[in-house]
Amino acid sequence: MGKQKIIKTGNSLAVTIPSDFVKTIGIKAGQVVQVKVEPETGKVTYTFSGSRQLPLASTLTKRRKAKR
């Protein structure tokens, strides 16, 4: 994934979510997101509830079917 710019929204700062990521996992505006902050490392992890599971690669599913 690339870099995102921090923007000001009201009295807060925000980072936008790339549209291809939004479409891929199926999230929508207004959904709740779980946030885990690690200040000592500068790491922030977001977990989106209700997001759909990503499909398996077609080559992987073809190999599993062939083994049966």
Residues 4-54 have pLDDT tens digits of 899 999 999 999 988 888 888 888 888 888 999 999 999 999 888 765 555
Hey, where are the domains in the chain?
6-67
SS (H, E, C) the chain: CCCCCEEEECCEEEECCCHHHHHHHCCCCCCCEEEEEECCCCEEEEEECCCCCCCCCHHHHHHHHHHC
pTM of structure = 0.56
pLDDT of residue 36: 94
pLDDT of residue 51: 53
